[in-house]
A and B are shown apart, each in its own frame.
Chain A
Amino acid sequence: MSLSDHLRYLRAMRGGMDTRAIAEAIGLETSGPINRAETQYRPVRDPELVAKLANYYGRPLEEFQWHDARPRKFLTFYAARALETKEPASLTLRSGETLRGRIVWWDLGSIGLEMADGRTIVVMRHAVVDWLDATNWKDV
């Protein structure tokens, strides 16, 4: 799961408060950087902001860095490559469950994973926290 998705998840778990309130609490003039961090598909690449947000949410910085190393683009690359090579894919969900199968399609919000029994499971992208070789993508 990307840091963007993780930030949105944490904010939702806190009742979905306004990003302007967070910006004020961590000493930013505007909520722009937070809004961008929550929506971008690439790594956040602002260590200071990441540290401030980790501190604000009371989470270890390492946790935020771990998520930032798994942006949505990387999952896209992984899905696209797995679809092309037809190699089995392995997706780990936030619940800890790992789903293994062959990716048959993917799009904006979900991934179609064909299981060994021939059924297709539609996995929501925001539920995927980790995948095989997750950080080994340099072509962003």
Chain B
Amino acid sequence: MAKNLWELRMARHMTVKQLAGKAGVSASDIYAYESGKLVKTAHRARLAKALYVDTYEIKAQSDPKPKKEKPKPAAVQRPSPKPTPAPAKSKTAPPKPVAKKKQKMASKPVRESQITHLLQLARSMGQTETAVTETIGKPLTELTMQEASHWLNRYTEDLQAFKAKRAAESDSERPPNTRRKRYHLPEGVDEFEFNYLTARQEAGDLLAFKLFDGTEMNGRIVGFSPYTITIAPPDGPETTINKIALAYYTVVPTAATPAAEEAV
């Protein structure tokens, strides 16, 4: 079933700029498409590739992205002269005033899960239940939901600080030059090629591609994904090259570069 462009982008944790770089579609176009403008067919195909979906999975016309609703201050309840209609398909209920929620939490007794969580956090720092009770100043079962929430936040912060301190100590205890070098780990990323391609695309450089079978192609980058690069040759239609078919590629030296001068 087709989905909104912004839904697919957000599901892949991509920013508009990142998607623009991968798809070879300008960020302003993407903003417009996400706001409901009809997506051009050519752009839809490119966006689909960059998002690893089929073209039909992107809605030709996205529903506008719902804006995050900010909770209104509880005391100020001014009636708006023109009531704004809710988004057509939004099923989310309007946020309840914060003060009311707090009041409710303040009067309710602590939940059992809150106590369990609190004790887990304390145990992670080597503290016993007695120590926690002493710190809080009363038995855990006598806390309200709001108080428990406050202590949970505080213990979470304390645990983060505790872990950071322990990590720093274990590093300082290690004899010098014994830290294991794990320089081979970055092979889990492909950001260097991504950065290179982005820079070449933005600069509009002409690139020469050598394929596995010896074929050579020249063109400017239109868009790229982890598996493909789409180029526009100086005289011909756009071509998408599968990276698996590539041996190497580089910038074609312009007349001004020393390499070109040498070649001449």
A residues near B (Cβ < 8 Å) are: 41, 72-73, 76-77, 80, 84, 93-95, 97, 99, 105-110, 112, 115, 117-124, 126-127
Identify the B interface with A (CB < 8 A): 183-184, 186-193, 196, 212, 214, 226, 243-244, 246-251, 253, 257-259, 262
Q: Are B247 and A122 in contact (CB under 8 A)?
A: no
Which of A76, A97, A109, A126 has the most C-beta atoms of chain B within 10 angstroms of its own C-beta? A109
Tell me the smallest distance from the CB of A130 to a CB of chain B, in Å.
Answer: 14
For A105, what are the chain B residues with a Cβ–Cβ distance below 8 Å?
192, 196
Would you give 17 A-B contacts (Cβ < 8 Å), ordered by A? A105-B196, A107-B187, A109-B190, A109-B243, A110-B190, A112-B196, A117-B257, A117-B262, A119-B257, A120-B196, A121-B249, A122-B193, A123-B247, A124-B248, A127-B212, A127-B246, A127-B247
In angstroms, Cα B191 to Cα A15, docked, is 31
> A94 to B245, alpha carbons, bound, how many Å?
12
A80 / chain B contacts, CB cutoff of 8 Å: 183-184
Q: Which of B187, B248, B259, B262 contacts A127 (CB 8 A)?
A: B248
Cβ B184 vs Cβ A93 within 8 A = no
A interface, by DSSP: helix, strand, loop or mixed?
A: mixed
Given contacts A84-B183, A108-B188, A124-B247, 11 further A-B contacts (CB under 8 A): A41-B187, A93-B247, A95-B214, A105-B196, A109-B193, A109-B226, A110-B192, A118-B257, A118-B258, A121-B250, A122-B250
Indicate whether A73 sits within 8 Å of B246 (C-beta atoms), given known contacts A112-B196, A117-B257, A119-B251: no
Q: Would B196 and A124 count as touching, CB distance under 8 A?
A: no
Write the nearest CB–CB distance from B32 to chain A, whole angstroms: 33
A126 neighbours in B (Cβ, 8 Å): 244
Please report the C-alpha to C-alpha distance between residue A93 and residue B226 in the assembled complex, in whole angstroms.
21
Residues of B within 8 A of A84 (CB): 183
Identify the closest chain A residue to B261 (Cβ): A117
Docked Cα-Cα span, A41 to B185, in Å, equals 12
